[in-house]
Amino acid sequence: MPKLLDNLVLDRCPHCSVANPTLLMLHNFDTDDHAQARPRRWGVYVCGGCGGVVTAWATALEQVVREWFPFAKSINEDIPERPRTYLKQALESLHAPSGAVMLASSSVDAMLKAKGYRDGSLYARIEKATEDHLITSEMSQWAHDVRLDANDQRQADEQSALPSSDDAVRVIDFASALAELLFVLPGRVNRGIQQTT
């Protein structure tokens, strides 16, 4: 666990996902609850790469950090290994939007394959998943947008603008939503059913 020091040592910035970010303390202050029973020392940090703000608290300066905000996104273990790995790498590549877009698209492709949609192109798999009501027509439209965004990057299309960090976040949001629909929610439902029987 990191300590509440002038530099907060995290593996990745929770905003831009750059590895070993420079998170420098701008300010620190004390808080307590209404009964003066939960004293905390807070640090406010800024990422030297993206400018994102991270707050962290410990019992005192130079002590072990108990929590920091925002937490880095985690990938649910209910997602099969290959799409989970692509999605994790996409999150870790937010500082490189073109790579993040291609990895998120690969995650979508791997999710459809994990659900048995292996034949043809990604376009054909998306269409078949829609026809079979695995995904809605709106999700299909979003999936095609993600597919086309990734194609622009893979083919180095000079007519297409390079993706921004916001574009990468949008694509990752779709891949995360699809993973939630196809794997995370069904896994949670199955565990709930098993607990009641």
Convert the pLDDT of each residue in 37-57 to its tens digit.
999 999 999 999 999 999 999
Residue 114 domain-assigned (yes or no):
yes
Q: Note whether 97 and 190 are same-domain residues.
A: yes
**Is the model's pTM score more than 0.85?**
no
Segments forming the whole domain that contains residue 32: 7-69
Show the tokens assigned to 127. Answer: 């269409």
**Distance of alpha carbon 121 from alpha carbon 140, whole angstroms:** 14
Q: Which residue has the higher pLDDT, 192 or 132?
A: 132
> Do 90 and 45 lie in a common domain?
no
Amino acid identity at 184: V
Instruction: With cut-offs at 50, 70 and 90, classify the pLDDT of residue 160.
Output: confident
* Residue entry with tokens 């929590």: 67
Count structural domains, the chain.
2
Under the banding of pLDDT at 50, 70 and 90, the label for residue 140 is very high
Question: Which band of pLDDT confidence, cut at 50, 70 and 90, is reported for residue 165?
Answer: confident
Token pair belonging to 70: 């925002």
